[in-house]
Each structure stands twice: as C-alpha cells, then as structure tokens.
Structure 1
Amino acid sequence: MSDIRYVSEGTRAAIRRTRREDGAEFIRRARESVGFHRPWLTLPTTEQAYEYYISQLEREDREGFLVCVRTTGDLAGFININNIVRGAFQCGSIGYGAFPPTAGQGYMSEGLGLVLRYAFGPLGLHRVEVNIQPGNKASIGLVKRHGFRLEGFSPDFLHIEGAWRDHERWAMTSDMLDSGPEPADGPA
C-alpha cells in the first residue's frame, strides 16, 4: 500500500483512484459480491470485463474511486462519477457498490462524503445525480443520509441483470453539500 496515494481521507475510510493494477483484487471482490449485488448491479468479474471497465474510467468524462479502509487499504467498495458534462450543466452521475465483508459498516457512507467533496470542490461540479432501483433500501438510505433529494422516477431506465429496471432519480447540488442532514454515527 505504500505506493498508493489517497485522494482524500476521512476518519475510517479513504478514497483513491481506481487503477489498472487493481484488476485482480477488484475482480476477486466483485466475484465475492455477485449475490450481494443482485439484482441491483453487475460488476466486472473477468479480466476482459475489468479491462473494459477501467478503459471507461480513463475517459475524460469519468472519475473512478475505490473506497478503502483507511488504516489497512482494504477495498470496501467503489464510487464512480460517470457522464460528466461541462459547460452550463456541470453535472455527473454517481454509481457505487460496497464489497462484503465491510458492507454495512459505514465505509461507503464516509467514502461518498469524500467523493462529494471532491466532486463539488476540485472537480468543479454543480450537480450530481444517483439513479437507484426503488427496492434498494440500503442505497436509498445512503443518499438520504447525505441530503440528496428525490427528483423523479424513470421507468425502464437501465438494463441490469438481463432486464430493463425502473429507477428513482436522486440529486444534490453543490449548495446542498453541507446543508443536508448529518450522516448518522455508526454503520451505513
């Protein structure tokens, strides 16, 4: 871990950029998480799929982060900012997923806070959006804790696990970052 630099550190979690060299560990965690993420999310579980995933993160309109346990560097999850649009919009779409066995222990909540501060700070975004399937209570709880507002419903929005899935649209603007509810102490 000595050659890996964190982009930002919190009390328990830290974020760092996703790299090509993370492939083997990411794939291992993704394989361990298949049942945990179904039907919400499909992750790259082969070298070829990871190669495509990382090539997408290397585009100018994307930022990819790994959420790590700050003291050990162990992967707790990932958070990506996708489809970044500049100009008058200054917006990005956030996608994320936790990895067991650290899921539910607050690392993703702290990691999302770090990513939001990066998005609204150095990245210069005005708005971020998250699209969540209505039955994904853990993910909805995560964005609510960070002060996102529900803006609408998109039927048949994303093709996941072989089907078009409905999603709720949640969003936050830069002025909402520190005015939202405080994240709850303890696991998230």
Structure 2
Amino acid sequence: MRFRRPPGWPAVLMDGPVVLRPYRRSDAVAWSEIRRANRDWLSPWESHVPGSWDELNSPAAFRFVHADQRRSARTGEGMPFAVCLREDGHERLVGHLNVGSIVRRAFCSGYIGYWVDSRVAGRGVMPTAVALAVDHAFGPGGLHRVEVNIRPENTPSKRVVEKLGFREEAYHVRYMHIDGAWRDHIGYAMTNEEVAAEGGLLARWHRVRDSRG
C-alpha cells in the first residue's frame, strides 16, 4: 500500500532570515547546545520526565526527541519545525515550533507550542515563525483553528501571541504539571476567518512590525 503524506507535511517555510524546516539527525549537537545554554530561560515553562536537564537535553536524547517528532509528523498528528536563522550565508538552529495534537474531521484544529534561544529573543524571530506556521496550518495543513496555552507568568511567550492578535479565550486552572506543580494557563486561539481577509497572519504581522518602525 502506498504511503500517503499528511496534509502540509513536509514543508520548508521562509520569511526574511527566518526559516522553518523539518528537523534533521544532524541537528543533535546544535539542539543540545541551545537547550543546555538556555536552562534557566526554558525550564520554568516546560514539562519533562524525571532526569537532569543535561541528560534530557543531550545529543543522545535528541535521537528520541527526533524519532517522536517524525512519528507524529508521519501520522499527521503534528508538524514539528526547527526554527532557524539564515545570516551571512549560514543557517543556524535557534528554536522550535510544533503544531501538535492535530485533530481532523469536524474539528480541524491543533495546538502550537514553541521556544526560542534567549540570545535571539526580542528580534521578532518567534512572532515570524508562529505567523508562518499558522498560515501554513490554515492553508496546506487544512486546519481551521489553532490554540496556544501559556502560563500567566510567561511574559515573553504571551507577547508573541499578543503581537500577532491571538484572541484570549480561556483561563485553564491547574492545566498542566510543570516545574513541580499544577500550573494555570491562559488559552489563546485563532481561526482562519480572523486572518483570511488580511491576507494571512504573516501579512498582519508585517504591518504590525512595520508600524513600530
């Protein structure tokens, strides 16, 4: 039986220096370096299995992360992107974005999760990446709705969705076990109709960014 690719995958998405692409096995060392260097920046917001941060984010651990990503992409349950910056002719890994928990049929929805290297935070990398991913999800990906759940204390992550005009939709009490306790999350959402008339979310983001100079 011939394998049928999930809608919208694989894909490479680009806007200026920001590139979203599928992960490669060769990303292991760069992924590990970024994750280990950003422990204080990332660990308060992430759920993880028992083990030290260095162990869970080693090049060897990336093999299991990569295998899980490939499996979710192959089954159509996720679109896991490596977020890269292309500068001076070189491309480097700077973050991660996943459109996950994808449900088709009457829902056509998914959840977006992301992280970025603190050394490039504030440069518009993640708003651009999210806008690219949402437009792709609403287009070739065949989704109608995307959601993002963020802890109230995670100000940098909230700024990303607020800049893009995501709608604050819900407050989830004790939503996920993170950093040793059950944590509340704010639910943000967006549907295709909210950005279609503007030419997509990336076009909206360009206008917002340009208006700020």
Q: What amino acid maps onto 2:57 in structure 1? A: T
Match in the other structure for 2:105: 87
Aligned partners of 2:81 and 2:30: how far apart in 1?
14
Aligned residues: 183
Q: Does 1:63 align with 2:85?
A: no
Residue deviations 1:1-53, cap 9 Å, x none?
A: xxxx9711102311111233312211111001111123112574124532332
1:161 aligned to which of 149, 171, 179: 179
Greater helix fraction, Structure 1 or Structure 2: 2
Of stretches 126-135 and 68-77 in structure 1, the one that deviates more from structure 2 is 68-77
Aligned partners of 2:189 and 2:60: how far apart in 1?
32
Match in the other structure for 1:184: 209
Q: Does 1:17 align with 2:22?
A: yes
- Cα 1:66–1:185, aligned 2, differ >3 Å: closer, same or farther? farther
CA shift at 1:144, angstroms?
1.2
Structure 1 vs Structure 2 CA RMSD = 2.3
Please give the secondary structure, in 2, of the residue aligned with 1:30: helix
CA shift at 1:113, angstroms?
1.1
Identity %: 34
Residue deviations 1:78-130, cap 9 Å, x none?
A: 11011000111001110000113111111111111111111111111101100
Please give the secondary structure, in 1, of the residue aligned with 2:152: coil
CA shift at 1:162, angstroms?
2.3
Bigger radius of gyration among the two: 2
Is contact 1:40–1:160 with CA below 8 Å preserved after alignment? yes
Q: Does 1:109 align with 2:127?
A: yes
2:64 aligned to which of 47, 52, 58: 52
Is contact 2:131–2:164 with CA below 8 Å preserved after alignment? yes
Please give the secondary structure, in 2, of the residue aligned with 1:88: coil
| Unmatched 5+ stretches in structure 2 | 1-9, 49-55
Aligned partners of 1:17 and 1:186: how far apart in 2?
32
* TM-score w.r.t. length of structure 1: 0.87
